[in-house]
Amino acid sequence: MAGIDYSERIPNNVSLGDNRRLQRALEEWQPKFIDWWMSMGPDGFQQKDVYLRTAVSVDAQGWAQFDYVRMPEYRWGLFLAEPEAGRTIGFGDHLGAPCWQDVPGEYRGVLRRLIVTQGDTEPASVEQQRHLGATCPSLYDLRNLFQINVEEGRHLWAMVYLLDAYFGRDGREESEALLQRRSGDRDKPRILGAFNEKTPDWLSYLMFTYFTDRDGKYQLASLAESGFDPLSRTCRFMLTEEAHHLFVGETGIGRVVQRTCELMREGKTDDVRRLGGIDLETLQKYINFHYSVSLDLFGSEVSTNAANFYTMGLKGRFEESKKKDDHRLKDATYTVSELAGDRITTREAPALPSLNERLRDDYIADCQRGVDRWNQIIKKHEIDFELRLPNRGFRRAIGLFAEVKVSPDGLVLSEAAWDSNKHAWLPTEADQAYVQSLMRPVTERGRFASWIAPPARGVNSQPVDFEYVRLA
Ligand code: BYC
């Protein structure tokens, strides 16, 4: 890759052209990234022209430029939000001190671990989604999938930039390892649970973008509060792109709900499977699964890691700077869940180790807002059904609830009661086979698969029947 003008090839606002050491590190990493992208990125579409948004700068005009691009030629840029003059650390033991422009030596290991954990999720999601192109429900959806994939690629670049620019040799080793782990691989899995699950169909993908990408929003927002300024600025810019991923999830599931309701009304039946739709009960089961897997991503209810991240000034709360308390939380308490025999109750716990639970609470409230909007669609069709988020203890693998079985209503169950009911709460093999049977590609302009309604509008003011991906 020698000879490439990197400041031209990699749009950036980090003065890449002036930093020879960083350029060399990225020059070594870039061909490995491309190898990874070609072997683990979207399967079967690498040579197609896709109508994509590329960020070429962070200002209003520059961050969303649309044109046809072949994905391997996407310009994965390095962008930090503009610096805030005089920014100080907003929480923890260093409250009020100037933000760090370099890695504080005593926190090097912890900070690297946080950045690696964040970075690891980005390529993982691309790997999870790599076979979906073959069964797209429309060109519009296909394009959105690829947009998300290239931006997850860019988010990987964003974390690799931090590792290479600030962590020397260790950082370069971590950058390599990010390309070597594989989602779902037994020997070298991705770090966090949800990123080793399969995304075998488009319903799972839309659920993933609604629930799992939303964890991304909350984690990035907490890291955007960081006293390590380069991390804060990187995450702030990533959040602008993240909004589109959440849009795809929320409107995507909304369109499935819409289509199901239309089929129920038109066919005067609840049995929409006969008509090629996805019944509301199955949607509920997919919600149960993806929500519970995503709740695990917030870690344990009581976590010394979380307390340390905060006290050290590395990871704040969601909207930390808007909160009106002492931003140290040494004497504060927070309400966390507790198991009392076979009941779930709450207790007051020290606030610092409860920070994961607090972030999970913010996330749950946000998840509920989308569910309410989907229920509005159902109500408009005068159908008597309500989608719900299951209890936070349902099907958890991390934290307090990992050792018990909890029903969607929040009852602690015996193993036997769980086993005899779980088919009603989680997708069964038959449900999955049915959803899989719907996954046939629809690639004619303006047409949509039987199980999903068209979107309200197209991308970047283009019509819904625009040629979002040129397949010919
Ligand atoms: N799976 O004290 P604990 C995104 C580990 S998504 C496996 O309970 P802690 C995106 C934990 O690592 C956002 N392991 O939790 C979305 C720790 O291990 P070590 C990703 C887990 O540390 C869609 C041990 O259990 N960003 O961007 O307070 C598409 C005890 O941990 C899990 C981040 O996560 C799990 N679910 O918090 C694309 C932000 N949960 O260290 C992208 C950075 C916990 O003892 N990460 N463990 O070996 C963090 O802030 C924290 O690492 C966590 C965990 C919140 C994940």
* Atom number of ligand 1 nearest to Cα 297: 36
Helices (H), 17-91: 20-40
Query: Residue 230 and residue 384: Cα distance in Å, rounded?
Result: 50
> Which residues, in sequence order, are bridge partners of residue 49?
70, 470
Query: Residue 374 and residue 211: Cα distance in Å, rounded?
Result: 14
- 120-160 tens-digit pLDDT: 999 999 999 999 999 999 999 999 999 999 999 999 999 99
Determine if ligand 1 sits within 6 Å of the CB of residue 197. Answer: no
Determine if ligand 1 sits within 6 Å of the CB of residue 125. Answer: yes
Query: Cα(113) to centroid of ligand 1, in Å?
Result: 10
Q: Max Cα separation, the chain? A: 67
Closest CA to 408 of 430, 386, 429: 386
> Tokens in use for 355?
């920070």
Phi, psi of 398 (to 5 degrees): -125, 135
Amino acid at 120: D
Determine if ligand 1 sits within 6 Å of the CB of residue 212. Answer: yes
All residue ranges of the chain with pLDDT < 70 are 1-8
193 burial class (0-12, 13-18, 19+ CB within 10 angstroms)? Answer: middle
User: Which of 208, 297, 309 gets mutated to test ligand 1 (max ligand atoms within 8 A of its CB)?
Assistant: 297
User: Which of 398, 400, 401, 403 gets mutated to test ligand 1 (max ligand atoms within 8 A of its CB)?
Assistant: 398
Question: What H or E segment, with its residue span, contains residue 415?
Answer: helix 415-425
- 172-192 tens-digit pLDDT: 999 999 999 999 999 999 999
Q: What is the pLDDT of residue 3?
A: 44
**Neighbour count for residue 144 (Cβ, 10 Å):** 23
* Atom number of ligand 1 nearest to Cα 399: 8
CB 51 within 8 A of CB 469: yes
- 301-321 tens-digit pLDDT: 999 999 999 999 999 999 999
**Residue with CA closest to ligand 1 atom 47:** 299
- 101-121 tens-digit pLDDT: 999 999 999 999 999 999 999
**Residue with CA closest to ligand 1 atom 14:** 192
For the whole prediction, is pTM greater than 0.95? Answer: yes
What is the average pLDDT value for the chain, to the nearest integer? 95
Query: Residue 455 and residue 453: Cα distance in Å, rounded?
Result: 6
> Tokens in use for 238?
């990533």
Query: Cα(102) to centroid of ligand 1, in Å?
Result: 24
**Residue with CA closest to ligand 1 atom 31:** 299
Determine if ligand 1 sits within 6 Å of the CB of residue 398. Answer: yes
Q: Cβ neighbours of residue 391 under 8 Å, at least 6 residues apart?
A: 344, 406, 407, 408, 409, 410
380 burial class (0-12, 13-18, 19+ CB within 10 angstroms)? Answer: exposed
Closest CA to 22 of 177, 157, 116, 113: 157
> Tokens in use for 465?
């029947």
Q: What is the pLDDT of residue 342?
A: 86
**Residue with CA closest to ligand 1 atom 24:** 299
Determine if ligand 1 sits within 6 Å of the CB of residue 356. Answer: yes
Determine the distance from the C-alpha atom of residue 439 to the mean position of all C-alpha atoms in its chain, rounded to a whole number: 23
Q: What is the pLDDT of residue 2?
A: 39
Determine if ligand 1 sits within 6 Å of the CB of residue 122. Answer: yes
Query: Cα(156) to centroid of ligand 1, in Å?
Result: 16
**Residue with CA closest to ligand 1 atom 49:** 114
> Tokens in use for 79?
């962008």
Phi, psi of 445 (to 5 degrees): -55, 130
Query: Cα(290) to centroid of ligand 1, in Å?
Result: 16
Determine if ligand 1 sits within 6 Å of the CB of residue 228. Answer: no
> What DSSP letter does each residue of 140-205 carry, written as one string?
HHHHHHHHHHHHHHHHHHHHHHHHHHHSHHHHHHHHHHHHH--TT-SSS--SSGGGGS---SHHHH
* Atom number of ligand 1 nearest to Cα 303: 2
Token pair 């009911």 in the structure block, residue: 421
Determine if ligand 1 sits within 6 Å of the CB of residue 300. Answer: yes
308 burial class (0-12, 13-18, 19+ CB within 10 angstroms)? Answer: middle
Query: Residue 96 and residue 313: Cα distance in Å, rounded?
Result: 10
* Atom number of ligand 1 nearest to Cα 118: 26
Query: Cα(298) to centroid of ligand 1, in Å?
Result: 6
- 253-273 tens-digit pLDDT: 999 999 999 999 999 999 999
Q: What is the pLDDT of residue 27?
A: 87
In 314-337, which positions are buried (b, 16+ CB within 10 angstroms) versus exposed (e)? bbbbbebeeeeeebebeeeebebb
Q: What is the pLDDT of residue 8?
A: 66
Q: What is the pLDDT of residue 1?
A: 37
CA distances from 468 to 130, 142, 176, 254 (A): 18, 8, 33, 21
Phi, psi of 337 (to 5 degrees): -70, 155
> Tokens in use for 4?
């490439």
Phi, psi of 418 (to 5 degrees): -60, -50
